[in-house]
Amino acid sequence: MKELCVILNPGKNADATMKATLAEQEKQAPQIIDAMISQRAPKDISPEKLAQLRKAMIDTRLLAMRRTNELLLESIDMNSLCERIYTEIYDKYFSEAQLKDLIAFYKSSTGKRYTEVQSQIATEAIQLTNKELETKLVDVSKKVMQELEQKAREGAAAAGK
């Protein structure tokens, strides 16, 4: 298993995937903040105040995300963590003979190519998934807020009877 971990270098791939995920989250922050503001900001707020609020919220969110990621990457040895996790998982699902087959595959030109592009594949998958989910998330959030507002109105009406 040690040989497979050396070949796959899961720590490097996990590190790259975490960085790609953060970059994708940073890109989405403005849209998420816009959705939150559209649902929660007072309707009579001036455009200037709204712009200030938006900027402050985006800046705060980005700062928190970056700092969290920074501290996370500092506090975790991704190579040893991934090696430990991969060993446990691969031992669970693969026999010794199958592990040898995997090692042979990853030593092949196709396997080497896969390990070279694995983090890019993961990054693109994250980006495309987030793009697909982004619109749905905003729509679902709006629907939930409308439902909650309706329930609040119904509760207020029932209390007033």
pLDDT tens, position by position, 115-159: 888 888 888 888 888 788 877 877 887 888 889 889 888 888 888
Residue 73 is predicted with a pLDDT of: 79
Instruction: Find out whether 78 and 11 touch, Cβ atoms under 8 Å.
Output: yes
Instruction: Find out whether 103 and 3 touch, Cβ atoms under 8 Å.
Output: yes
Residue 116 — φ and ψ, nearest 5°?
-70, -40
Tokens 């009877």 correspond to: 161
3-state secondary structure of 112: helix
Instruction: Find out whether 115 and 8 touch, Cβ atoms under 8 Å.
Output: yes
Q: What is the DSSP letter of 44?
A: T
Residue 31 is predicted with a pLDDT of: 85
Instruction: Find out whether 106 and 114 touch, Cβ atoms under 8 Å.
Output: yes
Residue 98 is predicted with a pLDDT of: 95
Residue 108 is predicted with a pLDDT of: 96
User: And the tokens for 116?
Assistant: 């070279």
Residue 102 is predicted with a pLDDT of: 93
Instruction: Find out whether 126 and 24 touch, Cβ atoms under 8 Å.
Output: yes
DSSP string of 25-42, one letter each residue: HHHHHHHHHHHHHHHHS-
Nearest 5°: the CA angle 20, 3, 123 is 10
Could you give the CA distance from residue 152 to residue 157 in angstroms, rounded to a whole number?
A: 9
DSSP string of 46-89, one letter each residue: -HHHHHHHHHHHHHHHHHHHHHHHHHHHHH--HHHHHHHHHHHH
Residue 76 is predicted with a pLDDT of: 80
Low-confidence ranges of the chain (pLDDT < 70): 1, 10-11, 13, 161
